[in-house]
A and B are shown apart, each in its own frame.
Chain A
Amino acid sequence: MTLPPVLRLVVRNFRASIDPITLLVMFGQPAFLIVILGTMFNQLIPSVGASGSYVAFLVPGMIASQMITGAVLAGRIFWLDRRWSMVEQIFSGPFRRYEYLAALLLTTLLFALVGVGIMALVALPLAGLPTLSAVELAVILATIGLGATFFGGLLIAIGSRIRSANLYFTIQSLLQYFLIFISTVYYPVSSKTPVVLKVVVYANPLTYAANTVRDAFTHSFGPGDLTAGIVLGGLALATFGLAVAMFRRLEFGPVQ
């Protein structure tokens, strides 16, 4: 039986586009941070709001940040496909452009979910994991899915306009670090947080995703989470549309 085109492309993305060392680093780094940051800061910070311990606060943030990991991996696949002319090769074959894009976003989502699983496994012995209801679990997965689509679409749209590997990977690294550090992944926003930082943190979609996952972990969903979901959904739709538009105008030929 022949798989649908999108799934064939997803299989290819997993089998052929990312080397094991890259995967180890991409997933190993946040796992390492949970262990080291979680353990070390736990000694300094007695408790963080409803989460309790710092490590219990950190884990949902790191889980939410896996949408960035997935997006970075998909962006990398797309860039390498451009660099090695596989985009052109695939587009000249029995695939539609949106199928390639959909496969990339599905790959983003699957990588993000793999990351979520790894973070949960690492967190289990350190902080334990709450028992989640079906709704809470669905909200977490939907949030990760929308966030992965947003960030994946953004990186793919950027990657489709840039013809230099150096520039693409510099932009990707900057985005990755700014988005993660200027969010509520590692620390909460409180009344003592400077206003400028507050504005920047709340302008970052990852903040809403981290807060939603955290609220699911503490069984404290509120209206803010619904708003966050709607905003994230709108942003995901917008970047998906942007990526589609960029794909239509994609220029072939050498990239460096």
Chain B
Amino acid sequence: MRTTGTEIIAEARDLGYAYRPGQFAVRHLDFQLRRGEVFGLLGRNGAGKTTTVRLLTTLLPPTEGGGRLFGKELTACGRAERARIGVVLQSESLDFVSVEQNLRLYAFLWGVDRETAKSRAEEMLELFELGPMRERKPWALSGGERRRFQVARELMHDMELLFLDEPTVGLDALTRSRILDYLATRARAGLSIVFTTHILHEADRLCDRIGVMSDGRLRTVGPPAEIKRAYRGARTVEAEFERALNPVEAQELDALLAHDGDGFSWIERRADLLLFQAANAESLVASLARWAGARGVEMTRIAVREATLEEAFVHIVSEGPAPEGTLARRRA
């Protein structure tokens, strides 16, 4: 993980937006973004990620609560603050000129001088592997190429904070990896990033902290590792025996797991293999080992696998926030 600064450059304070009175797209958002930090917003379709980006980029005015961008109230932010941010929209945005002209024209719009724009366009064409299609119109590109083009175009100007609304949709694994590496490099150089995605392992890899959204609310905020640890119910235990258990042994084991298991659920059960999830995975492993030792059943394998971000995510969005006192209640 990178070391992020202490300066807060964006902040949501009980931030909310209602399309119509009483119909909230997002509500009660509370989080802070520090300089050089990569903050991931995860959530299902319609969770409110894009609305959150629109609020923080001043495209939408908050209808309740507030927030700050570079220390200034969102409602008072204008050209000066927006000149310090970059936005890759979820929807495709393009002009009716070639890929290369698009890059240079966008730089011109941002007031980048001609020489810098020229050299940066070359850099971006190479970095995003758009060189062979520089003369083509963006709408003639494939979906993945257009997405690459859009990210490349936004990087034509200088910024301190970059909003990326699902930037890797439609990209192949190799391209995704290259883009994530590049963004990580920029973040190390001090660029702050707000990143929304459905691809959870990307967020796990790139983000310093993650906010999980569901139904317009921020359910939890924290570093990926902490979020995974906080949702221990998603930890998986795998136990394998040297032989198939007989019915009496199986019955004893059932009783043991049902008695000691906290939030216990089976994933797979065979006569010689148990695969289950439980919140108190470590203590169950110890109970299992004791039982096997007492019964004289040799265990060939026993392992506790940390929850993946995807498992934690599914748990959060399907079962709601973590209990009081855990990450969900903690102000980021």
Seen from chain A, the residues whose Cβ lies within 8 Å of a Cβ on chain B are: 2, 5, 8-9, 11-12, 15-19, 80, 84-86, 88-96, 252-254
Contacts and interface: CB of A to CB of B under 8 A. Distances in A.
A8 B108 contact: yes
9 contacts: A8-B109, A11-B108, A89-B87, A94-B83, A94-B110, A94-B111, A96-B78, A252-B54, A252-B59
Interface stretch (B41-49, B91-99, B302-310, B317-325): B91-99
A92 B111 contact: no
A201 B104 CA distance: 47
Nearest first, the 4 A-B pairs at minimum CB distance are A85-B93, A16-B95, A94-B83, A89-B93
Contacts of B59: 88, 91-92, 252
A248 to B, nearest CB: 9
Nearest to B83: A94
Size category of the B interface is 20 to 34
B152 to A, nearest CB: 14
B176 to A, nearest CB: 22
B274 interface: no
Given A8-B109, A92-B89, A94-B80, 13 more contacts: A2-B111, A15-B97, A16-B97, A84-B92, A84-B94, A86-B94, A88-B89, A89-B89, A89-B93, A94-B82, A94-B110, A95-B79, A96-B78
A93 B109 CA distance: 9
B171 to A, nearest CB: 19
B332 interface: no
Q: Count chain B CB atoms within 10 A of each CB in A19, A91, A96 and give the residue with the most.
A: A91
A17 B54 contact: no
Nearest to A87: B93
A5 B96 CA distance: 20
A94 B101 CA distance: 20
A80 B97 CA distance: 13
B79 A92 contact: no
Contact of B108 (A12, A84, A94): A12
B57 interface: yes
A95 B157 CA distance: 14
A8 B111 contact: yes
Contacts of B92: 84-85
Contacts of B57: 92
A96 B81 CA distance: 11
Given A2-B111, A92-B59, A16 B105 contact: yes
A41 B92 CA distance: 49
A86 B111 contact: no
Contacts of B105: 12, 15-16
Nearest to A250: B59
B115 to A, nearest CB: 13
A94 B79 contact: yes
A43 to B, nearest CB: 43
Contact of A80 (B78, B96, B111): B96
B155 interface: no
Nearest to B90: A85
A6 B80 CA distance: 15
Contact of B96 (A11, A19, A88): A19
Contacts of B265: none
